[in-house]
């Protein structure tokens, strides 16, 4: 299992229609890609960083994660929405430790 996470800040004003559109479209597009499970959209609330939102999703294995990354809908979303609309981000991918 791979848990793919990303925290990010949008270029749009907080609570704007553009912000809502981005989040609604992201959920619709990304969660529909085969192999994506447990898709979540989260609001970041820690005062220790400036990120606004987070996405979290899981994949059964590396092959499923690779198919997601290469999927035409993901590639188009990154090109057409993510790059133009996201100000800053950080990705972290996790796998279980396998002990304990």
Around 100, how many Cα atoms within 13 Å sit in the side-chain half-sphere?
A: 2
> Which residue from 80, 78, 60, 82 is spatially nearest to 4, judged by alpha carbons?
60
Q: Is residue 48 part of a domain?
A: yes
The number of distinct structural domains making up the chain is: 1
Q: Is residue 100 part of a domain?
A: no
Question: Residue 13: which domain range?
Answer: 2-94
Q: Is residue 17 part of a domain?
A: yes
- pTM, entire model: 0.92
Q: Is residue 99 part of a domain?
A: no
Note the Cα 67 to chain centre separation in Å: 15
DSSP bridge partners of 54:
7, 42
pLDDT given at position 98: 84
**CATH code where residue 72 lies:** 3.30.70.100
pLDDT given at position 79: 99
pLDDT given at position 100: 67
Q: Is residue 58 part of a domain?
A: yes
Q: Is residue 18 part of a domain?
A: yes
Task: For residues 14 and 31, give the distance between their C-alpha atoms in angstroms, rounded to a whole number.
Answer: 23
């Amino acid at each position: 299992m791979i848990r793919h996470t990303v925290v990010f800040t949008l270029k749009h004003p907080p609570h704007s229609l553009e912000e809502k559109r981005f989040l609604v479209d992201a959920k619709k597009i990304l969660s529909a890609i085969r192999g994506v499970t447990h898709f979540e959209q989260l609001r970041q609330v820690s005062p220790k960083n400036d990120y606004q939102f987070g996405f979290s999703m899981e994949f059964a294995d590396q092959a499923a994660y690779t198919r997601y990354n290469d999927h035409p809908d993901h590639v188009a979303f990154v090109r057409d929405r993510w790059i133009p609309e996201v100000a800053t981000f950080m990705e972290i991918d996790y796998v279980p430790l396998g002990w304990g």
